[in-house]
Amino acid sequence: MNLDEITQLIKDYLHRDDLDLHINSFIKSAENELNSIIRAYQNEKTISVTSGTDLPNDFGHIIEIDDHDWEIADGKIYGDGKMRYSKRLDLITDTSNWLSEKYPEAYIFGALKYAAIFMRDDERIMLWETLFRSVVDRINTIEFLRKRFGTLRLDEILRLTKE
């Protein structure tokens, strides 16, 4: 799903026109949380850097570096070699990404959680948080298994997750 489709589905769940102006901020809040907890190879990127290189625009956090004498300061990388990092998702700018296409419910449940927080709807916060965490756990498990074992059929993934 792309941004417009996700936005429309969130609107359909909320049934409130007065929240339309806030939906992008709900999506962005969910995405900020997703950026810190999703661990998937689709988010990984390896680059070669020389000292003084600017941090990539999509930089989220470092996964691995090939030298321990690195420093990041003032938006620059100081050190030479290769760095593997997690890319930051940005659905509002890109309008679509691997997560929105494969697991749109992560954005939907996360945004609905933040909408419930905004509306101070305690019962719905717990519902959307539970669904959101369940999706995130599933994503991290499936993507870990994919990275470790390669492309697996769904029945193989389900069997491995039950063992």
Cα distance between residue 89 and residue 143, in whole Å:
16
Instruction: Find out whether 107 and 3 touch, Cβ atoms under 8 Å.
Output: no
Residues 139 and 59 in one domain: no
Structural domain containing residue 148? 1-38+89-163
Structure tokens at 34: 């997703």
- Packing angle of the helix pair 104-119, 122-149 (nearest 10 deg): 160
**What pTM was estimated for this model as a whole?**
0.82
Residues 99 and 24 in one domain: yes
Residues 73 and 22 in one domain: no
Residues 75 and 111 in one domain: no
Burial 102-124 (b: 16+ CB within 10 A, else e): ebbbbbbbbbbbbbbbeeeeeeb
Residues 82 and 142 in one domain: no
Q: In the prediction, which pLDDT does 146 show? A: 78
Residues 68 and 142 in one domain: no
Q: In the prediction, which pLDDT does 158 show? A: 63
Residues 101 and 158 in one domain: yes
- For the segment 78-129, what is each residue's pLDDT rounded down to a tens digit? 988 899 999 999 999 999 999 999 999 999 999 999 999 999 999 999 999 9
Which residue bears the tokens 């059929």?
Answer: 153
Structure tokens at 107: 């954005």
Residues 148 and 94 in one domain: yes
Q: In the prediction, which pLDDT does 144 show? A: 81
The angle subtended at Cα 134 by Cα 4 and Cα 153, nearest 5°, is 85
The whole-number average pLDDT for the span 39-65 is: 89
Residues 53 and 97 in one domain: no
Residues 62 and 96 in one domain: no
Residues 31 and 100 in one domain: yes
Please state, rounded to an integer, the average pLDDT across all residues of the chain: 90
Residues 66 and 138 in one domain: no
Task: Kindly tell me if the per-residue pLDDT of 151 is higher than 90.
Answer: no
Instruction: Report residue 87 CA to chain centroid gap.
Output: 9
Domain count of the chain? Answer: 2
Task: Report the Cα–Cα distance between both ends of the chain, in Å, rounded.
Answer: 32
